[in-house]
Amino acid sequence: MAYLFTSESVSEGHPDKVADQISDALVDHFIAFDPESKVACETLVTTGQVVLAGEVKSNTYLDVQTIARDVIKRIGYTKSEYMFEANSCGVFSAIHEQSPDINQGVDRASKEEQGAGDQGMMFGYATNETENYMPLALDISHKILEELARVRKEGKILTYLRPDAKSQVTIEYSDDNKPQKIDSIVVSTQHDDFDEDEKMLAQIKKDIVEVIIPSVKSQLSPEIQALFTDDVVYHINPTGKFVIGGPHGDTGLTGRKIIVDTYGGKGAHGGGAFSGKDPSKVDRSAAYATRHIAKNMVAAGLCSEVLVQVSYAIGVVKPTNLYINTYGTSNVKISDGDIADKIYDIFDMRPYAIETRLKLRTPIYSETAAYGHMGRSPETKTVSFTDGSGNTKEMEVETFTWEKLDYVDKVKAAFGI
C-alpha cells in the first residue's frame, strides 16, 4: 500500500535560524583568527533583543555585537516595523571561558590523539532518490524557501515578502519506496501589512503557485518535475495573514531545527545540534563525517539507501561503534555488520582525523546555518573577517567538504564494485 512522507524547512529569517546564523558567524570569526578556538555559542533572539551565551577558549578578541548585527542585516531585518532590526536591537553577551575540566579531555600533546569533545551518537544518511543524495521532500522544501529568499532580496517582484517563512512537502511513495507524486505543499510566508487581507492572501497564493513553484521545478530533474501533477494540494498561509513574524513573533534559539538541518525526518538523528560549535564537538564533525560516508557509499553503488551511526565517549579518541543499515538495498553479498567493518577501515573516525579530512578548522560554518547542512554543493571561495581590533583577514576556504564524492573509488575497490 502506498504511503505519504513529509519533511519541512524554515527560512533564514525564521527566529531559530536567525539564532543559528549568529552562533555560526561567531564560530567562523573565532576560527578565522585562531583555528584552534574551542567554541560553544548559544543565541537567543526575541523582540528587539539578542542574547549571546556560551563558552569559548580562543586567542582572539571579537566585536560580537557587530557580528550579530551584520548577520541580522544580511538576513533582511532592516526595518523598524519588523520590531527586530539590525541597527537598533540590543545585543547582550554572556560568553565566558570554556571549562578546563572539559578541555583536558579534548586537547592532547599529539593532535592525532585528540579526544571527542562530548559523548553521544551521530547519524549520516543518503538515498539515491535525488541527484544530491538527499530525501526528496526535504530537498524540495529547502529549494522553495531559497527561491523565496532570492526573490525577496532581489526586490523586483513579490515586494511584500518579509524574511520569516516555512515550507512543507508531502510525497506519496509506492510499496517499493519510490516517489510517485507530490501530494501537498505548504508555504507560510511573512508579508507586509495590507488593508484588504482577503485580496492580498489570494495574491500571495497565486504568486507562490505561479511564480515560486515553477522556478523551483525548473531546478529539478525531469523525473522529479513529473511528480508535480495538477492534483497537488497547496496550503499557502493557511492561518491567514502573517505580518507579525521573525523574533518579534516567536523567540528563536540556537539548535531547535536539527531535523531541518539534516534529513527531514528520514534516517535518524542523535539529538545534538550543530550551529555554534567548533569541530572538536563531534555532534557537528562526526555528523558531517557520517554523511560523507553515506553519500560516498550510495554514489559508489554499494546500496541505494543507507544510515550510518557513530558514537563517542567524551575525551576518548576512537569511536565506541560504527553501525551501518542499508535497509536491504545492499548490492554486495555480505551483512551490514561486515560492511561496517570494511567502512571502518576506509574512513578514520578519530576526531582529529575527521577535522583534517574534511578541512573543518576553517571558517566555513555560516553558510551551513540556513537551508540545511547536508545536500549542499562544495565550493572553493574567498572569505573575509574582521576582529575586534579592526584587523581584517582574507582567506580561501572549501565549503561543504563532506558532500564531496572523493571516496567513491576507495569504496568501490574495497567492495569489488
Binding residues: 14, 16, 42, 55, 98, 164-166, 241-242, 250, 256-257, 273, 277, 281
| Angstrom distances, CA of residue 381 to CA of 27, 367, 391, 406, 416 | 18, 12, 20, 19, 36
| Angstrom distances, CA of residue 47 to CA of 51, 76, 90, 91, 407 | 11, 15, 9, 12, 46
Annotated binding site for L-methionine: 55, 98, 250, 281
List all residues 6 or more positions away from 36 whose beta carbon is below 8 Å from its beta carbon.
58, 59, 361
Annotated binding site for Mg(2+): 16
Strand partners, 120: 312
**Total count of residues recorded for the chain:** 417
Q: Kindly report the CA angle at 377 between 41 and 32, in degrees rounded to 5?
A: 35
Annotated binding site for K(+): 42
| Angstrom distances, CA of residue 391 to CA of 56, 121, 381 | 20, 39, 20
Q: Please check whether residue 40 is in contact with residue 254, taking contact to mean a CB–CB distance below 8 angstroms.
A: no
Question: How does DSSP assign 31-47, residue by residue?
Answer: HHH-TT-EEEEEEEEET
Annotated binding site for ATP: 14, 164-166, 241-242, 250, 256-257, 273, 277
Question: How does DSSP assign 114-169, residue by residue?
Answer: PPBSS-EEEEEEEETTSTTSS-HHHHHHHHHHHHHHHHHHH-SS-TTEEEEEEEEE
